[in-house]
Amino acid sequence: MKALHQSGIRAPCWLNLLFGLVFLSQAWSVAAAAEDAVRFNLRTRIGAAAPVDVSLTVPFGTSKVIPAAGSLSYHVEVGQPREGRAFARLSLQDGAGRAYPRTTNGLPLAAGGVRSVSYTVCDDRVIQEETVPARAARCTDLPSMAKADPRPDGCLECLGAYEGMPKSMSSRAVMAAPREPGQRLLLTGQVTGPDGAPRAGVIVYAFQTNATGLYPMANPARSTFSQSHGTLRAWARTDNGGRYTFDTIRPGAYPDRREPEHIHMVTIESGCASYFLEDIHFSDDPLMKSIPGDRLKVLLSGVGGSGIVTPNRDTKSGNVVIVRNIELGKNFADYPSCSAN
């Protein structure tokens, strides 16, 4: 074309039309690719090594294994679209192709959608951030990890109770500081063994949402074992009477309003077992009416006894109090019959 212009000869109309069609074809191909694929922006850092960034486009209905950093890899899978969205699943795998604990997750993405995730691998723990920050998370920022007890129910999320566990605990702990917005709440109860006797020295771990129904995220981020538990969490060790108490606020329901207000609880019988209890639910929560009958039966007679509590106001302190008594081993099929510690 340059030679034609220099010689004073104009390009024929058909040639201009041909170039236009080629350009439109290329633009259509790019648009079509965006319509049937999603994009991943990924970063992985092993220990203190430099992070490795990877970006890839994955068409709907496709599964891929992509190198990450060192011998690690990503397994990405994008399902077939439904109503314009496809479920995009992602996991970080070790050199043997095994997914790191709690790094397998996904969410629906619209055509042309983007998911950005950053991993920092710290031995057997992984810091996962749903973004690719300017500064990759550092292993030195992780809280200490106490030695975990056996998990007879295979409860992987119970490991979160050991991340940042304090070395010393009393029977009363603060889960939500006084400055935390929301209705103040006193959660208390007594822990008894299968014989009905009070059990001293049992660790009760609890975590919950804030008043808006969100789990406030820790910064710097913790590992996948406990980051999803948020910052409203605490540990109490039962006294000689088997009693424990948490100072907190009433949790909010999740923003989508599909799940009633609740508090998660784990018991740790040191040296023997750790396992989830039935979540605490509030009898006066309007969303309780949406719980199916079979699920309601579980709440009433779940692991450790009933998880449904009724808030009452203490006339002396003015605090709203809920009582969640814990019967160790109740309704737990594989309870190991831990002895007092």
Tens digit of each residue's pLDDT (9 = 90 or more) over 49-103: 999 999 999 999 999 999 999 999 999 999 999 988 999 999 999 999 999 999 9
Closest CA to 54 of 36, 38, 66, 71: 66
Closest CA to 107 of 149, 79, 141: 79
Q: What 3-state DSSP class applies to 139?
A: helix
Tell me, what's the pLDDT at 298? 76
Closest CA to 41 of 155, 140, 132: 132
Share of the chain above pLDDT 70, in %: 89
Q: For the segment 122-139, what is each residue's pLDDT rounded down to a tens digit?
A: 999 999 999 999 888 999
Looking at every residue in the chain, the average pLDDT score rounds to 89
* Cis status of the peptide bond prior to 51, with omega within 30 of 0: no
Cα(244)–Cα(199) distance, rounded to whole angstroms? 11
Q: What 3-state DSSP class applies to 173?
A: strand
Sheet holding 73-78, edge to edge: 62-67, 73-78, 85-93, 105-110
- Which of the 8 DSSP states describes residue 143? P
Q: For the segment 101-110, what is each residue's pLDDT rounded down to a tens digit?
A: 999 999 999 9
Predicted confidence band at 33 (pLDDT cuts at 50, 70, 90)?
Answer: very low
- Which of the 8 DSSP states describes residue 251? P
Tell me, what's the pLDDT at 145? 96
Give Cβ neighbours of residue 167 (< 8 Å, ≥ 6 apart): none
Q: Is the dihedral of CA 181, 182, 184, 186 positive or negative?
A: negative
- Where are the alpha helices (H) located in the chain, listed in sequence order? 2-6, 13-35, 293-300
Q: What values do phi and psi take at 157, rounded to 5?
A: -70, -20
Please state the domain extents for the chain: 37-137, 157-327
Predicted confidence band at 35 (pLDDT cuts at 50, 70, 90)?
Answer: low
Give Cβ neighbours of residue 242 (< 8 Å, ≥ 6 apart): 190, 191, 192, 197, 198, 199, 200, 202
- Which of the 8 DSSP states describes residue 268? E
**For residues 202, 203, 209 and 215, what is the CA-based torsion angle, rounded to 10 degrees?**
-150
Cα(328)–Cα(320) distance, rounded to whole angstroms? 26
Look up the pTM and report it. 0.85
194: number of Cβ within 10 Å:
13
Token digits of residue 207: 């975590």
Cα(163)–Cα(149) distance, rounded to whole angstroms? 13
Instruction: Note the CATH number of domain 157-327.
Output: 2.60.130.10
